[in-house]
Structure formats: C-alpha cells, structure tokens
C-alpha cells in the first residue's frame, strides 16, 4: 500500500509541476516542432519537418523526407535513404549520413578537422552563433555535404551602405 501511494505522489508532482515527459514521434506529413522534449523523431516519405525549438535526442530522416533545422537542441541526426537535412541554426552535437542523403549547412567561416573516418565541422550560423558538429563515420569533402556560405552580417551591412551611397550620388 505504501508503494502505491509513493507512485501516486510522484505522478501528482509531475502533473502539478508541469514536467514534460520525453516522447517519440513519427512524421508522415509536413509538421513543425517548436517546443517540447523528444527521445526519437522519425521523418518518413516526402514529409517536411521544420524544427524551430525544443530538445530532440535523436532525429532520423528516411526516404525522400526533409528536415529544416532553425533552432533547438539536437543530440544526434541520422540521414538515411535519399533524405535531406538543411541546417540554418541550433545546437547540433553529431550527424551521421548514409546512402544518397544530403546535408546542407548554411553559415560562414567554415572549417573542418578530420579525426580518423570522422571529423569536426566548425562555423557560424547567420545569427553569428558559433557551432561545432561532429560528423560521425563521415568525411568531408563529400558529395553528400554542401556548405552554403552566407555573407557575414557585417558584410551585408557594408554592402547595403555602399548601395545606398551609390544611389544617392546618382
């Protein structure tokens, strides 16, 4: 009887404190993750998943699916089949890609440090936040990784100032 009361007390504390329990979820249609904690997230078929926040332990993309990552904390991303992952920001710890999948990274100041058959990809996102992503069992350069160099924010400002000055002189 005491054991049963203990579990009821724990359940009440969880419910009253609003603690979210991590969950696993499969996506077969377009959707967005903006908050919450997830253990496993799987994206299938031609679904497009947009991540703008939240915490994900493992994100796996299958078939011809796409994941667009803007923000959030993701421990592990696995690209399988011919899936595509587009990285624009967030905190990503490690990535593994297989088959004919494609990883697109949008940022600047890229550098790569090989470590055996793996390596570290360093750079900065458009918001000037630095990142370091471990490419597990992957090497760069690779046909499967495309680094898209976006202008540094200060460079864009100088470019706009220059354009305005040229227009004023006319």
Q: HSE, CB side, 13 Å, CA atoms: give it for residue 33.
A: 30
Please state, rounded to an integer, the average pLDDT across all residues of the chain.
87
The pLDDT score that the predictor gives to residue 86 is 98
| Banded model confidence at residue 119, pLDDT cuts 50, 70, 90 | very high
What is the rounded CA–CA span in Å between residue 19 and residue 89? 26
Q: How many CB atoms lie within 10 A of CB 167?
A: 8
Q: What is the pLDDT of residues 80-101, one digit of tens each?
A: 999 999 999 999 999 999 999 9
pLDDT above 60 (res 61): yes
Q: Which residues pair with 91 in a beta bridge?
A: 73
Best-predicted range by mean pLDDT among 16-20, 21-25, 107-111? 107-111
């Amino acid at each position: 009887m005491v054991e049963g009361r203990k579990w009821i007390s724990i359940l009440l504390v969880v419910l009253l404190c609003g603690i979210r329990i991590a969950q696993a979820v499969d996506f077969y249609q377009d959707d967005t993750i903006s908050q919450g904690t997830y253990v496993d997230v799987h994206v299938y078929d031609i679904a497009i998943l947009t991540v703008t926040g939240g915490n994900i332990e493992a994100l796996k993309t299958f078939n011809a699916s796409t994941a667009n990552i803007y923000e959030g904390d993701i421990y592990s991303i696995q690209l399988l089949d011919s899936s595509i992952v587009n990285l624009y920001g967030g905190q990503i710890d490690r990535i593994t890609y297989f088959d004919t999948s494609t990883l697109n990274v949008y940022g600047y100041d890229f550098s790569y440090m090989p470590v055996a058959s793996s390596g570290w990809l360093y750079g900065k996102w458009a918001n000037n936040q630095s990142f370091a992503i471990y490419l597990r069992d992957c090497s760069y350069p690779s046909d499967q990784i495309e680094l898209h160099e976006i202008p540094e924010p200060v460079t864009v400002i100088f470019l706009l100032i220059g354009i305005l000055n040229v227009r004023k002189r006319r």
